[in-house]
Structures are given as structure tokens and as C-alpha cells.
Amino acid sequence: MGMGDMGAGDMSTGDMGFSWITAILDSRYPEDERYRMAGHVMQLLGKQLDFDGPGRISHLNDSWVDPLVRFLSLCEKFHATDSPPLSPHPESIALRILSISPGSAHFDATILPILTSTLLPTHPLQSRCLALKIFHMFKSRWFSPQMETVSDEDIEKILQAVGDPFQLTSDPPPQDGPGNPAGTADHDPMIATAVLIEFASSNRWKQHLRDSNFTSCEEVLSTEEGRDALKRVLDMVADGWLRVPRELAKITTAIERLRELQCSNTVEAVITWTQDRGIGSPEDREAWRLIQPEV
């Protein structure tokens, strides 16, 4: 039975498709041939996998991550020579599939240069929204031991590419009708901003943050509506703070770094969220004074 005989959203369709892609990437064909053949398989996957309908894919098989990242790395080499481009572009399909990942245990730091490139507004696919969503979905992996081997230069590059998450470019319009996998990404930039706030609590990341990462956030958080939005997002994504011992110390570290960056509205919003959540205890006097100066 061929891929075209399987129903939309069938996970076995993806398993078969990614087996083909892996075989192609591991073959001895010239690199441009591997790119072309794997791209056609990715297009077939885009037509078969349901992203938006009632049978849509809601999660990503771990076994799909490695061939996805390898294929995306190959795509990055052929932007200038892929003329005319395949439509819908297979890289857009691959990004859309990766964007439903909850952050794979099979994380590989080779995704960093892919995201760094795709996040830029100058990227040919104009898929910054999708890239920001992937950046958030892999949040837990940014604090993993694998990141210890990543150079400061590479961390600096990805944070520069993330820039101000509220500064978005429009993803390409749908090309193939309903369920088109190259369509726009539904992603709230406040979620990416919350990840940056958590980065401020990490010694590995905080030194690479810049005030320009929070320019629009500072403006949004000048309103009550914006502050409420951030608190809702922090409730949803700040599990890294809430599941570790001495979470107050980590939040204090974040606040100190945000103060250094002169992000006063962000600092105030994080302090209010911390108080509302009841994080910390009266015994944490020294750390608590940094969060509640009036104590």
C-alpha cells in the first residue's frame, strides 16, 4: 500500500514517510539529489498529514525528529539554488511538523543553526512565526546538559535571531487550500518572551540577553491587559521555575538580570506574578527583599 492510500493524519503515514526520508538521507546519491528526493517525500507527507482538521496530528513521534532536523539542515544549503522552489516548499512542511513537537528527548543541538537562520526576517521562507513556536516547544531542552557543549557564540547568535519576539514577519499565505502545512503559525509572541524571562534566571543564558529582546514587551506590559497576559503565560510555561527547589532564588536571579537590562515593566510584572503565586516563604528573607523591596 502506498502513502497515497493512507488516511490523513494516520501516524503510520508519517512513520513510513520518515523511513523513506532517512533512507534517502543515508544514501550515496549526490547531495542535491538527496535534497530533491527527500523534498518530494516531504510534500507527500504534507498532503497526507492532517494539521487542522478533526483528525489532526497533536503530537510528534520522537523517531521523526532526527530526519526532520537532518532534512532541514540540508534545505538550508539549497535556498539559493532551489529555483523555481517546490510549492508548497518542503522546508515549510518540515517546520510545521516540527512545530507540534513537545520538545523531544532526542534533542540535538544541530537544531540551533536551523532556528537561528529561520528566525531571521531575511530568511527566504519568511517563517519567523513557526520558528518562534519551535523555539518555545523546545524550551525544556535549552536547559539540558547538551547545551553545555554549545559555544557562547552560538547562543549569542540564536538570541540575536530571536530578537524582539513581538517583531514578526508574515508567514507565507496558504498555498494548497485547507490544512495546508505551509500556512501561518498560531503563536503568541508573549510565550517566546516568557522563555526569554526564564533565560534571565540561567547563568548559561542570561549574559547573552539584551534589552532589545524586551523592547515591545516593555511597551505591552505598560498596560494592565499586557501584565495579565504575561501572568497567564507564565502560569502556563514557567514550569522550570515551579518544579525545582529554591525556585525563588532562580526568579530573583531573573529579576536582577532584567533590572540590569532596565526592563522595569517586565520586572514589575514578574514580581506581581511571584506574589500572586505565593512563591517563596518568609524564611527566604534575603532573597525576598530583592523581590519585595518594601519588606
pLDDT the model gives residue 1: 35
Close Cβ partners of 101 (under 8 Å, ≥ 6 residues apart) = 59, 60, 65, 134, 137, 138
- Report how far residue 255's alpha carbon sits from residue 261's, in angstroms, rounded to the nearest whole number: 10
Residue 20 predicted with pLDDT over 50: yes
pLDDT the model gives residue 107: 66
Q: pLDDT tens digit string along 133-142?
A: 999 888 888 8
Q: pLDDT tens digit string along 260-271?
A: 999 999 999 999
Q: Do the beta carbons of residue 210 and residue 159 sit within 8 Å?
A: yes
Find how far residue 19's CA is from the centre of its chain: 25
pLDDT the model gives residue 173: 42
Q: Where are the domains of the chain?
A: 1-186, 188-295
Most confident of 62-76, 173-187, 216-230: 216-230
- Report how far residue 185's alpha carbon sits from residue 205's, in angstroms, rounded to the nearest whole number: 26
Cβ neighbours of 30 (radius 10 Å): 9
Residues above pLDDT 70, as percent of the chain = 72
Q: Do the beta carbons of residue 52 and residue 178 sit within 8 Å?
A: yes
Close Cβ partners of 60 (under 8 Å, ≥ 6 residues apart) = 97, 98, 100, 101, 102, 104
Residue 174 predicted with pLDDT over 60: no
Output the CA–CA distances (angstroms, integers) from residue 83 to 5, 32, 68, 120, in the order listed. 30, 13, 22, 21
pLDDT the model gives residue 49: 73
* Residue entry with cell 522546508: 91
List alpha helices for 49-188, DSSP H.
62-76, 90-98, 111-119, 128-137, 152-162
Q: Do the beta carbons of residue 196 and residue 214 sit within 8 Å?
A: yes
Q: Do the beta carbons of residue 122 and residue 156 sit within 8 Å?
A: no
